[in-house]
Every structure is written in structure tokens, then in C-alpha cells.
Amino acid sequence: QVQLVESGGGLVQPGGSLRLSCAASTRASGSYAMAWFRQAPGKEREFVAAIRWPGSTAYYADSLKGRFTISRDNDKSTILLHMNALKPEDTAVYYCARQVNAITSTVRTRNRYAYWGQGTQVTVSS
């Protein structure tokens, strides 16, 4: 059973930056993806960004491209989400997730992710 632990959330002013981290308890192999989703109060959980292996291809929600960057560490068990120019509408709980047997057409699909972290709160407010 894979455990995913997020960290790095907090309160930030509009225009500020945060870096989220997700550490997995086990390394994966083969074709898989690790992703960030977020859920604001009263809204559906939505895709933010993902990295798929092999190849470390990155995918982003169109509305967030250019402000958010997903990256991984060299041992592939930790992913990061760098968030810049944050807006109040970015306020949400951010979740890390892992998908096995991932292909390009499934990396944005929430119900294809079997493993989820507990989430970390990001609040953007002055």
C-alpha cells in the first residue's frame, strides 16, 4: 500500500509563491503518474498537474499553465508543485495522487488515481 504525504501548504498573500511537496512511501516502476489535484469548498476536485513516467512528461490544467510548475526529485519518490503569482481563487486543499499503468489520456482523470494523500491546505488571502 502506497502512502503519500503532502507538505508545504499555508497562508500566502495574493501574488505570492508556495512550494508543495509530496513524498511517496514506495518507489513505483513501469508506467505511472503522480499528480496534484485541488478541491475548493463546495467544488469538485480538479486536476492541477501531473508527471508521467517513463519520460517524466509534465501535464497541466490549461488555466494554470505558466503559473504552476510540477517537478520530481531524482529518485522519483517525491514530486513538487511550485506555485507562483497565487490568486485568492487558488485557495483549496491540494492533494497528491498516484496512478499506475498511466497513459497520456488518463493522467488528468481523477478516478484513475488509486492512491491519495490527506491533502494540504493552501489559502491565498490578504
User: Could you report the per-residue pLDDT of 74-85, keeping only the tens digit for each?
Assistant: 666 899 999 999
What CA–CA distance (Å, rounded) separates 5 from 117?
A: 5
| pLDDT for 53 | 87
- In this structure, which amino acid lies at residue 42? G
Does 20 have pLDDT greater than 90? yes
Q: Give mean pLDDT, residues 4-21.
A: 97
Does 28 have pLDDT greater than 90? no
- Residue pair 38/95 in contact by the 8 Å Cβ criterion: yes
| pLDDT for 104 | 87
Which of 9-13, 26-30, 100-104, 113-117 shows the lowest per-residue confidence on average (mean pLDDT)?
26-30
What CA–CA distance (Å, rounded) separates 121 from 101?
A: 29
